[in-house]
Amino acid sequence: MLYTLVLSLAALFGGMLISVQAGINAQLSRSLGLPLGAATISFAVGLVALLGLGLIGRVGLPSLQALKAVPPHLLFTGGLLGATFVFGSIMLAPRLGAGALVALVVTGQLLTALVLDQFGLVGFPEHALSPGRAAGAVLLIAGVVLVRFF
């Protein structure tokens, strides 16, 4: 129970960071006048931070042998999706505002997650779409409408 609470709070905190990250990266983009430059800097700083954590924190970096054994699409897809998200949020945050951006992102995440769970895609175990899960998705969509248009 406590473990689940701690994990849930960590996920909540991660969501909070995404909102702040979008605003910071949008400000960086305005300062530079280059959205792609802002995304590049964001990822470069993230890379340095993760390498530092891996080297100093000794949490483990993969060996070259381990990297060679991984299917190539797994090495690139996550980074490409992350870059697309960061670049997109840099472009959208100033136009939509933090509330609408996050409402749309979270709704997109949940709708996709429900499909991934339903069919057990990309390594997730299957979880059938229940009436409660469907209702949650409908409520999120309603929330997007309220946040974006009212």
pLDDT digits (tens, 9 = 90+) for 14-73: 989 998 999 999 999 999 999 999 999 999 999 999 999 888 877 778 889 999 999 999
Backbone angles phi, psi at 2, to 5 degrees: -65, -40
Q: What is the DSSP letter of 57?
A: S
CB atoms within 10 A of CB 7: 10
Alpha-carbon distance of 46 to 144, in angstroms, equals 30
What is the domain range of residue 115?
Answer: 97-150
- Point out the domain boundary residue: 96, 123, 140: 96
Give the residue among 106, 77, 113 at the shortest CA–CA distance from 89.
Answer: 106
Residue 29 shares a structural domain with residue 69: yes
Percent of the residues in the chain that have a pLDDT greater than 70, as a whole number:
100
Backbone angles phi, psi at 63, to 5 degrees: -80, 165
Give the residue among 129, 106, 100, 111 at the shortest CA–CA distance from 92.
Answer: 100
- Point out the domain boundary residue: 96, 114, 129: 96
Residue 112 shares a structural domain with residue 133: yes
What is the token pair recorded at 127?
């979880």
- Count up the domains in the chain and report the number: 2
Residue 86 shares a structural domain with residue 129: no
| pTM for this model (two decimals) | 0.83
What is the token pair recorded at 44?
């470069």
Residue 11 shares a structural domain with residue 59: yes
